[in-house]
Amino acid sequence: MDFQSKLNRRRFISLSLIGAGGVCLLGRCANPTLSPWRFLYTHEASLLDSLVEQIIPTDEWPGARDAGVTNFIDKQLVGPYTRYQATYRKGLAAIQETSKSEFQKPFETLPFEEQTKFLVKMEAGKMMGDLWTKGLDREFFNLIRNHTMQGFYGSPRHGGNKGNISYKMLQLDYPVIIGQNRYKG
């Protein structure tokens, strides 16, 4: 192989990579429904913020919203929780549709007390309509509750518990050993 063919091949590869990157960038710019989130759309993240804040509300300590629980869930939905992606899409849409049909407002704009009543009904499995078939209400509530707890009380390295909020609230030191817990015996 001579110098000219290597140069052409390298140039071809570099132009291909630049072109592929441009297509990805253009696709992102051309589609306004994309969001800065990994899995969630912006409107879904806003709704999820309201849901997680209901589960762990702000009091004298920051709640789930401030602890970055939505970020945790979003990050996990493109990682170990990919199996829950369809459930999140369906569940979030069902909550919003039900809220708009019952209250003529998006869920996140409802007063805190109304949101609480909505979720109590959801947890009890008493949501009505085609959107809530096969126990989606109870299943989705339990899923969000479990993921909220994991995001709030888990390690910040997984995307939640921003600023070690729950560790500070519980007066725990940040775990020094990542991985195995070792005890002095």
Residue 185 has pLDDT above 50, yes or no: no
Tell me the domain boundaries of the chain.
34-169
Tell me what pLDDT residue 8 has.
Answer: 67
Looking at residue 159, its pLDDT comes to 84
User: φ and ψ at 73, to 5 degrees?
Assistant: -65, -45
At 117-169, the pLDDT tens digits run 999 999 999 999 888 888 899 999 999 999 999 998 888 888 888 888 888 88
Q: 3-state DSSP call for residue 89?
A: helix
Predicted TM-score (pTM) of this structure: 0.74
The pLDDT-based confidence of 30 (bands split at 50, 70, 90) is very low
Are 152 and 64 in contact by the 8 Å Cβ rule? The answer is yes
pLDDT at 15 over 90: no
Segment of 110-114, 131-135, 167-171, 179-183 carrying the highest mean pLDDT: 110-114
In this prediction, residues 70-76 reach a mean pLDDT of 94
**What is the rounded CA–CA span in Å between residue 140 and residue 40?**
16
pLDDT in tens, 89-102: 999 999 999 999 99
More confident of the two residues 167 and 64: 64
Q: Which tokens in the block code for residue 54?
A: 């209901």
Whether the CB-CB separation of 161 and 172 falls below 8 Å is answered with no
Scanning the chain, the segments in alpha helix (DSSP H) are 3-30, 42-55, 69-77, 85-103, 112-123, 136-153, 165-169
Nearest by Cα to 116 from 18, 58, 50: 50
Look at residue 1 in the predicted model and tell me its pLDDT.
52
pLDDT exceeds 70 at position 3: no
